[in-house]
Structures are given as C-alpha cells and as structure tokens.
C-alpha cells in the first residue's frame, strides 16, 4: 500500500534533478503526482500488422528486432541516429530514433518489441519515426493504448511520469474523496479513485471523458465555493453608509455638457445605491472601450467627497494615474474638492481657488498642460502630501500601487476605485482587495467600499465563473456622439495607399499610432529592436518630413510618460510603439491606428488598441496589416462591440489564451471548461445548496481542507 502523503524525495530511484524539476511543476508529494493530469492523449491503441501500416498515420506494431545500427547523419548538424529493423509475419519496417544513442545498447536483436509512432516514407522504404517503444513482454504503458501526454518541464518527460504513476497504481493506495457523496450520486459522477484510473489509464475515449467531467466539476465547484464564501464574508463587513448631500450628484449630472447613456445611468444608479448601504460595495464596472467609465466613477467619487469622506483611485501605471489626475481636475474644476496625485515619481496637489489649502505656503509652481484648466496645481514633498492625506485635506487621492504602501494613512477613506484591474497581476489584485480591508482608513470597524473597473469586456461565461463574488455593472453602450471606427484588414499591396492616407490625415492636423507586436517576454529585446528599426524606417524612408516618437517596454516609466505627454501635446505626428501603449490613454486628436502583424494579437487586444483612437470629434480609422486572408481578423471589420469581439475571441482562442494562463492561476481543466455554461451553472447551484446548510463547511472537513489548498493556488478578485 502506497502512502500518497509521502514526499517525492522519498521515492525510490529519484534524482536531485528530478526533484527540482517536479517542484517546478508544483509536485511535492505522491498525491500531487497522481493529480498531475494529462492534457491530451495519443491514440496508439490500434495494433496493426506491419504490412497494413499507412503513410502519415499513427500506428502500433509488434515485431522481432532483426538488426540495430547506430551512426551519425551526413547532414551539417551531424545528428546521432539509431536505426532498427523490426519484423512480424507480414513484413518488416525500419524504426529511426534521433539523438538517443543509448538505444543501440538497450535494443537487443531477437527481442520482441512494441512500437508506436508516425509512419513515414524513407528514401528506400517505410519507416516509423522516433517511435515510443517498450518490450512486448511488459504491460502497455507508452505504446499500444491511449497514451496520456502530461504537462512537462526540462528534465521530466511524459514517459518518466507514466512510469512513476504506473508504479503507484500497481501498489494500490487509499484516497479520500472531498466531494460530498450526495453530490457525486446526484450528478452521476464517478468516485475519485476510479476517475484517476480513467484519467491515467483509459481503455476508451469515453473513459478519459468521464474523468475530465469529474475533475472539471470538482475544480469549478471549489472555485464557486470560494467565490461565494468571499462574497458572504464581504457582505458581513461594515462600511460607512454614504448619503447624497443636497442631491449634489443629481445637480452634477444635470450640469454635464452631454447626456449619460442608458447604460451609464443604470450603472450610476447601482453604484450610488450600493454606497448608501452599511455593508461595503464590491462591484465591477465592466465597460467597453470608450463607453464612459471615468464619468461614472467621478459621480461616485463626488458623492463620497461631498459627504466629507475620502476616495482613493488606483491605476496600474503612472501614465494612467496622471491621466486620471488630469481628468478629475477638469471634471471638478468648479467644485471645492482637493485632488492629489501620489506615485513614485509624482506628488501633486490640485485645488480650487476658494480652497482653504491655498493658505499653505510650501508649494512650488508645477505646470501641467491641461486644457480648460482653472485649478491651482502644485508640487509638494511626499511627507507633506502624506500629512495632508491623513489630516483629511485631500478628498480624492489618485495614484498607483504606491497608495497601498504602509506609510500612506487616510483620515476618512470610504471608497477605493481600482482602474484597469486586469492590468495588475493576479497576486496584486488579490492583495488590493485584501488591502482595502486592512488599509489605514481612519474609520474604526469599517472597511471602504470597493469599485473595480475594466475596459476589457468580459464574456458572460467568464463573468459567471470568475467574478461570482462581485456585483457587475455593464457599460455596453457607446455615447451618442461617438463615431464608429472604420476598420480594415489591409493586404500588403495596399500599404503605400494607407501611408498616403496617413500623410493626408496628418496634414489635416490629425495624429497616428503604429503598433508592433510584443510576442513574449523572452523576446522583448528583439521586439524593441523591431520597434526601433520600424521607427527608423518610417522616419527616413516613408515620412522624413514628419515628427515620429518611439515607445517601448525598455524605457523607464518617466520616459514613457514624457513620450506620451509629448504625443498628447502634438509634438509628434506619429507614435511608433510596441504593445506597451497604455490601455485607457486618451489622445483625442489621434485618428489612425496601424497595427503591424495583427494576426499575432488576440481579437480583444486588437479591440483595445483600436480604442486608442476615435476619442475625439473626428472620424477615426484602424488598419490591420498582416495576413489579409485571416478570417479571424475579419471579425474586427464586422464587429465594433467589445463584448461581441470578446465572445468570438473566447471561442476562437479558448480561455487559456484569452485570460493568459500564467495570469489566471487556474488549473488546466478549469481553464478548458470556462466556456461551459451548464457546468458553471450546476457547480454554482450545488455550491449555494451546500453553503445554505453548512456555511463554514464544518460538516465537510475534507472539502474545507481542499478549499484551503485551492485558495493558495487561485486568487479571486
């Protein structure tokens, strides 16, 4: 009997290199190894006579080793080849392995062997290329069956994992099932041990589908349990109930130079209603690009500030924090509300001329280029700003994650707004919500209301699965004066025509973005070089008479901000950038977005880039360079709604690519099933049913323990 709690270091024949590699995969015990599930299967179950193999197909053959030969190839790479001839009653076939010299000693003439692999046509005869193999006297592990393929890392192959898991199951073990027996029976699921057998040793396709159904439900059930528990805990906390002072928000909305959309009105009503409750709001404002999130957040901030409390607004970058500072200063230019900006680079205060803060004589002048700006903006020392925040002299404090540093103490904080929350890492996002309960807000036994915002439309299935602990407000409607951005997928032959159009638009006073893809972090330097090279090409050969700026990830934060500010101030006609160009950055005069190698981006990301233009009164355009025949890109021409595009993107790329697997922190099977509405609905209902009768899971200790493990690995917003 095997003890599954045994550490992998105690396994027989384990090497130090194996231990380190397994730790990288999150495997520390035999139980972790058993739950390291396959992500796909190779079907080697059909054994055929050698004479019946078909070129290009996978096959399994059994035969006797006639000869074995090891040699170096004649190519420049001088690969080590191991060749063997295998024969059965119907014929013979050659097997070829690359750079596996040890096989020449392991394969003995006269031994019977089982091979599984792809059949190819060699120079003279049929071959089986780089096949999986094992002696036919052994039980089928790597050949002759549905062979599981596992997530691997350097030093750990699927073959090695199959051996180890096979040894565990040969010796048998006991395992407790955390899923309540009633749920298992009600949903017609298999018990845990049988499901593990079906996952690792399926005899049919139906076997591994049964196992996947069981594990997908288990993980989604845990996700929903955790989500509902967080929601319940949050609702049991206390917050300051904010009453609307003298109907100030109604008067503010009436005085706006535009009418709110129906979606903005509905979201505003939901948020203002939440603020009047004595338990904290935990709401996600899920809006399309350009749908007007900022004004909705400003109305909420006004309600809180006018009631004598403070608001903290957090953005993921200094560029976005500075933009919010400018926006809120303009929005509240006629209100006696003191606004400050706190980042690692900036400590700014903006106040109305009538503010009592004008008597403080420690300011030095700080000029910000803000249009129609009638407030005093001054630069202060960090210590002084921290004192003003604590003494309640600042009503709205805008910043980056610098706001949750320990030396920041508020006098009376009642609302935290987190913008572009998806841009914070998963760990940061979990920390942000936790910090709102622990932040020094100056109000005893209360926690601030929390409003998170995102301009990345989230499909319904993902909202159900991942944001069940949040209330959701949707901004799925564009302002009436917003012109639709004309989008075209452009073939290479029309590139010059587009450049001529760009020149014409710039001569009319407009500006242009040119975006280059940043594929993966390991290639960051080559992508920076590509951006530098494209900037040089456009500057010297295409637009030598125009002014071009350059933005990429290797620039310091201050340099990025200065470049964006220069572009905003029309010092550049064209901005060449990698994909670091900020989500949410508002350049109202930019009317053209050119995206190079557009097929390398997801549709939702393309929609985000497209949203950098079309923010002013002029008609705007988005041109996608890349594979003009790419049907996926044609979706961008067809749809303007971010929610429609997000749904298409989810279907085309799957949840892993949509969310970014590394960012999500979710197990593979959960990721694969995030589009399964029925599974999500059932798991949520079962979680609700269970918590009604056992809210703290005191009667389900195994489930409680499993949930603690799940909590460590998965962070919810």
pLDDT along the chain (717 residues), means of 10: 89 87 91 90 87 88 90 70 89 87 84 90 82 84 85 88 90 90 93 93 91 91 87 85 86 92 95 94 88 94 94 88 89 90 85 60 47 66 90 92 83 88 50 58 78 83 77 86 89 92 95 78 55 90 94 81 86 89 74 91 87 88 82 88 84 64 56 75 93 91 85 53
141 token code pair: 């592990």
Q: What gap in Å lies between CA 665 and CA 26, rounded to an integer?
A: 12
Q: What pLDDT is attached to residue 426?
A: 43
List 592's β-bridge partners, or say none. 512, 621
Q: What pLDDT is attached to residue 105?
A: 81
Please write the tens of the pLDDT for every residue from 85-117: 999 989 899 988 887 878 878 888 889 999 998
Distances (CA, A) of 207 to 203, 240, 463, 529, 534: 7, 54, 31, 50, 53
196 token code pair: 């593990």
Secondary structure of residue 595 in the 3-state scheme: strand
Q: Which of 700, 713, 631 is nearest to 671 (CA)?
A: 713
Q: Which CATH superfamily groups domain 486-639?
A: P-loop containing nucleotide triphosphate hydrolases (3.40.50.300)
Q: What gap in Å lies between CA 502 and CA 511, rounded to an integer?
A: 8
573 token code pair: 């006609």
Residues 6 or more apart from 690 whose CB is under 8 A from it? 180, 183, 225, 697, 700
List 612's β-bridge partners, or say none. none
**Equal CATH topology for 46-144 and 486-639:** no
Q: What is the DSSP letter of 411?
A: S
Distances (CA, A) of 197 to 160, 380, 543: 18, 66, 64
Burial class (CB in 10 A: 0-12, 13-18, 19+), 217: buried
Q: What pLDDT is attached to residue 494?
A: 92
Q: Which of 230, 217, 224 is nearest to 179 (CA)?
A: 217
Q: What is the DSSP letter of 541?
A: I
Q: What pLDDT is attached to residue 709?
A: 76
Distances (CA, A) of 9 to 12, 148, 169: 8, 24, 18
Distances (CA, A) of 274 to 300, 309, 310, 399, 528: 10, 16, 16, 24, 45
**All structural domains of the chain with their residue ranges:** 1-42+155-172, 46-144, 245-276+292-454, 486-639
CA-CA-CA-CA torsion sign (644, 645, 647, 651):
positive
The C-alpha angle with vertex 452 and arms to 242 and 716, in degrees rounded to 5, equals: 120
Q: What gap in Å lies between CA 469 and CA 225, rounded to an integer?
A: 10
CATH of domain 245-276+292-454: 3.40.50.300
Q: What pLDDT is attached to residue 473?
A: 92
Distances (CA, A) of 493 to 490, 503, 540, 712: 8, 18, 21, 53
Q: Which of 537, 624, 608, 628 is nearest to 574 (CA)?
A: 537
Q: What pLDDT is attached to residue 570?
A: 92
Q: What pLDDT is attached to residue 199?
A: 93
Could you identify the residue written with the tokens 């090695």? Answer: 160
Q: What gap in Å lies between CA 598 and CA 465, rounded to an integer?
A: 29
If phi > 0 it is left, if psi is from -120 to 50 it is alpha, else beta; for residue 130 that is left
Helix (H), strand (E), coil (C) string for 646-679: HHHHHHHHHHHHHHCHHHHCCCHHHHHCCCCHHH
pTM, whole model, 2 decimals?
Answer: 0.74
- Helices (H) and strands (E) counted in the chain, each on its own, are 24, 23
- What DSSP string runs through 232-258? HHHHTS--PPPPPGGGHHHHHHHTSSS
Q: What gap in Å lies between CA 270 and CA 397, rounded to an integer?
A: 23
468 token code pair: 């069940």
Q: Which CATH architecture group holds 46-144?
A: Beta Barrel (2.40)
Q: What pLDDT is attached to residue 662?
A: 44
């Amino acid at each position: 009997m095997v003890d599954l709690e045994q550490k992998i270091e105690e396994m027989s024949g384990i090497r130090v290199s194996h231990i380190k590699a397994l730790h990288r995969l999150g495997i520390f015990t035999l139980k972790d190894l058993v739950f390291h599930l396959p992500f796909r299967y190779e079907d080697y179950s059909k054994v055929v006579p050698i004479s019946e193999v078909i070129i290009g197909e996978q096959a399994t053959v059994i035969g006797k080793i006639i000869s074995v030969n090891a040699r170096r190839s004649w190519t420049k790479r001088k690969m080590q080849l191991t060749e063997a001839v295998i024969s059965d009653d119907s014929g013979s076939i050659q097997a070829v392995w690359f750079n596996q010299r040890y096989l020449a000693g392991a394969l003995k003439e006269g031994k019977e062997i089982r091979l599984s692999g792809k059949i190819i046509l060699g120079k003279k005869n049929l071959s089986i290329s780089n096949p999986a193999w094992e002696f036919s006297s052994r039980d089928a592990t790597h050949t002759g069956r549905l062979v599981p393929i596992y997530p691997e890392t350097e030093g750990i192959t699927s073959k090695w994992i199959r051996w180890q898991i096979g040894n565990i199951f040969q010796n048998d073990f006991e395992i407790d099932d955390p899923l309540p027996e009633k749920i298992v029976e009600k949903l017609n699921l298999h018990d845990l041990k049988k499901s593990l057998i079906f996952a690792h040793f399926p005899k049919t396709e139906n076997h591994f589908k049964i196992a996947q159904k069981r594990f997908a439900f288990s993980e989604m059930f845990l996700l929903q349990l955790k989500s509902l528990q967080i929601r319940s805990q949050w609702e049991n906390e206390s917050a300051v109930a904010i009453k609307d002072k003298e109907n100030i928000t109604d008067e503010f909305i009436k005085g706006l130079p535009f009418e709110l959309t129906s979606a903005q009105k509905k979201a505003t009503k939901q948020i203002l209603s939440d603020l009047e409750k004595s338990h904290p709001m935990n709401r996600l404002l899920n809006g399309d690009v350009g749908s007007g999130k900022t004004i909705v957040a400003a109305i909420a901030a006004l309600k809180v500030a006018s009631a004598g409390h403070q608001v903290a607004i957090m953005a993921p970058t200094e560029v976005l924090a500075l933009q919010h500072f400018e926006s809120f200063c303009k929005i509240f230019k006629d209100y006696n509300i003191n606004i400050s900006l706190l980042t690692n680079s900036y400590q700014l205060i903006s106040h109305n001329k009538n503010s009592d803060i004008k008597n403080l004589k420690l300011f030095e002048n700080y000029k910000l280029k803000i249009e129609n700006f009638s407030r005093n903006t001054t630069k202060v020392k960090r210590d002084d700003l921290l004192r003003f925040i604590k003494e309640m002299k600042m009503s709205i404090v805008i910043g980056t994650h610098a706001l949750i540093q320990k030396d920041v103490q508020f006098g009376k904080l009642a609302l935290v707004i987190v913008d572009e929350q998806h841009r914070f890492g998963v760990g940061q996002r979990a920390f942000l919500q936790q910090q709102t309960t622990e932040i020094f807000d100056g109000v005893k036994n209360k926690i601030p209301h929390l409003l998170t915002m995102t301009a990345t439309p989230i499909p319904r299935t993902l909202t159900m699965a991942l944001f069940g602990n949040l209330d959701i407000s949707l901004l799925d409607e564009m302002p009436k004066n917003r012109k639709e951005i004309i989008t075209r997928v452009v073939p290479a032959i029309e590139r010059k025509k587009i450049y001529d159009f760009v020149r014409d638009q710039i001569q009319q006073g407009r500006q242009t973005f040119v975006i280059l893809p940043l594929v993966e972090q390991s290639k960051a330097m080559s992508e920076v070089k590509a951006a530098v090279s494209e900037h040089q090409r456009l500057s010297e050969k295409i637009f030598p008479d125009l002014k071009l700026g350059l933005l990429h990830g290797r620039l310091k934060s201050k340099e990025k901000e200065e470049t964006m500010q220069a572009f905003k101030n029309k010092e550049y006609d064209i901005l060449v950038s990698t994909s670091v160009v900020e989500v949410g950055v508002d350049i109202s005069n930019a009317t053209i977005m050119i995206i190079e190698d557009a097929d390398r981006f997801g549709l939702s990301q393309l929609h985000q880039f497209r949203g950098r233009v079309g923010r002013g009164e002029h008609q705007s355009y988005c041109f996608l360079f890349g594979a003009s025949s790419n049907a996926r890109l044609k979706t961008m021409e067809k749809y303007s709604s971010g929610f429609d595009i997000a749904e298409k993107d989810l279907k085309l790329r799957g949840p892993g690519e949509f969310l970014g697997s590394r960012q999500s922190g979710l197990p593979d099977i959960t990721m694969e099933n995030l589009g399964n509405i029925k599974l999500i609905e059932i798991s949520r209902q079962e979680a609700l049913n269970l918590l009604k009768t056992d809210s703290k899971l005191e009667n389900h200790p195994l489930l409680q323990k499993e949930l603690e493990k799940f909590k460590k690995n998965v962070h919810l917003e």
